[in-house]
Amino acid sequence: MSKSLLYTSLLFFVCLFNASIMAQAQVAPDRLIQINGVVMTSDSLYGIPDAIVSVKNQNKGTYTSEQGVFALVCFKGDTLQFKSLGFEAKDFVVPNNIKGNTLSLVQLMSQDTFFLNETIIHALPTKENFNFAFQNLNIDDDKYELARRNSNLAMMRMLSTIMRPDGREGQAFAQKDAAYRAAYTGQQLPMNVLNPIKWGQFIEAWKRGDFRKKK
């Protein structure tokens, strides 16, 4: 194959590729469509809040506002999926022959009825059994009770002796120590042999066993 024929073939394929790209660029914007809609109940026509509106088989979607209103941009021919807790899921196929790039949509959803397994409650045999079970019932503490118990002064003192400092406290201590040493740059640091606070900390550490050898 001659060089001129090779160059002509390459030029032809390049022109064909550019024409295809330009055609796709012109068609793609025309296929885009913005859907402005509202999701409502089919029986009372109330807006459904926080309903999920997604494009099928794509990682694209949104959710409705408190009034059930949503807005979404997709392509003509895509399938929209509507899902909400307590309602049957619905699909809507965006028509390909829609003129323009906007569409107003009202999607109605019906309540989904589901049944739970049967539960049978049996009474205790006697009144004495009920009184015993009621008096010895162990109910776990809720979050409020746990917070109230942990904020007790005696509990806070106990926790302060066994809990290690967290990252924030450790950083604050390191910065404070660095500032303290910087204040005595070029001279001997003061001795804490007669400091009662340091002696108290030493005695507390001795009681905790901080100086014991770890096996």
pLDDT for residue 179 is more than 90? no
pLDDT at 9: 56
pLDDT for residue 5 is more than 60? no
pLDDT at 127: 83
pLDDT digit string, tens, across residues 105-162: 999 999 887 777 888 887 777 888 888 888 888 777 778 788 887 788 877 777 777 7
Question: Which residue range is the domain that position 161 belongs to?
Answer: 130-208
Residues 137 and 75 placed together within one structural domain of the fold: no
pLDDT digit string, tens, across residues 48-70: 999 999 999 888 889 999 999 99
- pLDDT band of residue 23 (cuts 50, 70, 90) is very low
Residues 140 and 75 placed together within one structural domain of the fold: no
Residues 31 and 99 placed together within one structural domain of the fold: yes
Residues 142 and 84 placed together within one structural domain of the fold: no
Domain count, the chain: 2
Is residue 3 domain-resident?
A: no
Is residue 122 domain-resident?
A: no
Report the alpha-carbon distance of residue 53 to residue 210 in Å, rounded.
60
Tell me the CA distances in angstroms from 157 to 145, 150, 162, 207, one per residue in order: 18, 10, 9, 16
Is residue 72 domain-resident?
A: yes
Is residue 1 domain-resident?
A: no
